[in-house]
Amino acid sequence: MNQINRKEEVIRRDNVRIAASVLNCNFLHLADELKNVQDAGVDLIHLDVMDGHFVPNLSFGVPILKAIRPILKVPIFSHLMVIEPENLIEKFIIESDAIIFHIEASKKPEHCLELINNANRLAGIALNPDTALETIAPFLNNIYEILIMSVNPGFGGQGFISTTIDKVKRAKRLIKDAGKKIVIAVDGGVNTSNACSLIDAGVDILVAGTTIFRSKNYADTIRLLRCLK
């Protein structure tokens, strides 16, 4: 690798953000878990909202979001895995810095984006592993982030789907060809073994849950996920 490429790679890796998904943390000590993961250097908190319909699981509602918000020093991104997100966005938006909804779950994606952007929050669209990347093409003007799912949504602790790496590369190209600056996030099964390949493929935000919260030392794990040499 030549000097310039190496420098670009270092700059890229320096800019990668790590988001902690609290789905698999120790809920008996939620406040401590949030404090510890922030002290360990995480950049964002990722809140997985599940409705038992879009995904076969239930998780957090607005009361939890309201309760944790005051102790957060980093932004919180709410990942809505719910059908008809347009009906819930206004409830989650007040306490969230970003709202990410699934393209598969809404018949009114433009309306969702309008609600989020009009509230001056960051808007993201999430894609399930089987959803074609091209489905986001009409929305590139109005989104901050594409969240590429690297597991089928619903549960933490699943195995990473390796074809995601190629999807990230194609997303990077799609965004570049459109002349946009859109953040690429990957969510599900992210660990210290696949982080570097994901970053090299073009990921800007790595969402990691089990890998961080089941590790002994959160700071060491977060450092490894950043993949700095």
- Point out the residues that are catalytic: 48, 187
Least gap, CB of 207 to Zn ion (angstroms): 6
Closest-by-Cβ residue to ligand DX5 is 209
The 3 state secondary structure assigned to 96-149 is CCEEEEEHHHCCCHHHHHHHHHHCCCEEEEEECCCCCHHHHHHHCCCCCEEEEE
Q: Which of residues 54-93 bind Zn ion (CB under 5 A)?
A: 79
- Tell me the two tokens of residue 224: 């490894």
Return the residue matching tokens 């859109």. Answer: 182
Closest-by-Cβ residue to Zn ion is 79
By CB under 5 A, residue 102 contacts Zn ion: no
Angle, vertex CA 143, rays to CA 14 and CA 164, nearest 5? 60
By CB under 6 A, residue 79 contacts ligand DX5: yes
By CB under 6 A, residue 95 contacts ligand DX5: no
Please identify which residue in 51, 86, 187, 204 interacts with Zn ion, judged by CB under 5 A. Answer: 187
By CB under 6 A, residue 188 contacts ligand DX5: yes
H or E segment to which residue 93 belongs? helix 89-93
Give the interface with ligand DX5 as residue ranges (CB under 6 A).
21, 23-24, 46, 48, 79, 151, 153-158, 187-190, 207-211
